[in-house]
Amino acid sequence: MIMSERFSTRHMSCEAFEASGLSFTYAFHATPLGEVIALVCDGALAGLGFADDQTSALADLQRRWPKAAFAHAPGAGADLVAHVFGKRPQAPVPLLLIGGELDRAVWEALLTLGAGEAISYGALAARLGRPKAARAIGGAVGRNPICVAVPCHRVHGKDGAPTGYHWGLKAKQALLDWENKQINL
């Protein structure tokens, strides 16, 4: 299954988001891989991160959008998180991609990967028509605020080895192992 079949996306630059007056609600949810923080904006999942420490997880998302309002709303995004972690949605899960132009293009490209498909930074750069921009592409991958749904965990180094992951290589490997089990069920 292509990831984009499971998700619908809307795009917004950081500047447009700041000017919009939109705000985030957030909540913490248990998943098969541990606790996550879900950030919801205008009915869409705008952030999803592993939350070994709730305070640090919230601070991480607040650093990404320092001018945004964040309101704790128990249960916010529960249905979206359930769909990301396996429950088949009736309709595509809405994602709100907030970032720079390159960031959003990279995240959209990641959504076109088939289930379990991996790609190197260089191959991703070539796919985006920017074969000499692997480092810039890597930076955009690293800024992905919606883990699991936007499969940045599937990007690896030129030699196929797992490389950096915002939430740590241990989390990346656990996620890859869990995803591979889901595909083989």
Q: What CATH number should be reported for the domain holding residue 31?
A: 3.30.160.70
Mean pLDDT confidence for 159-167: 84
Q: Could you tell me if 87 and 126 lie in one domain?
A: no
Q: Could you tell me if 136 and 88 lie in one domain?
A: no
Q: Could you tell me if 7 and 90 lie in one domain?
A: yes
Q: Average pLDDT of the chain?
A: 91
Range of the domain at 154: 101-183
Marked catalytic residue, from 14, 41, 147, 152: 152
pLDDT-based confidence at residue 2 (cuts at 50, 70, 90): very low
pLDDT at residue 185 in the model: 58
CA–CA distance, 121 with 123 (Å, rounded to integer): 6
Q: Could you tell me if 75 and 130 lie in one domain?
A: no
Q: What is the pLDDT of residues 112-153, one digit of tens each?
A: 998 788 999 999 999 999 999 999 999 999 999 999 999 999
Q: β-strands 155-156, 34-41: how paired?
A: unpaired
> Is 28 in contact with 51 (CB distance < 8 Å)?
yes
* Model confidence, pTM: 0.92
Q: What is the pLDDT of residues 41-87, one digit of tens each?
A: 999 999 999 999 999 999 999 999 998 999 999 999 999 999 998 86
Which residues lie below 8 Å from residue 138, measured CB to CB, with a gap of 6+? 121, 155
Q: Is 147 among the catalytic positions?
A: no
Domain count, the chain: 2
Q: What is the pLDDT of residues 6-52, one digit of tens each?
A: 899 999 998 999 889 889 999 999 999 999 999 999 999 999 999 99
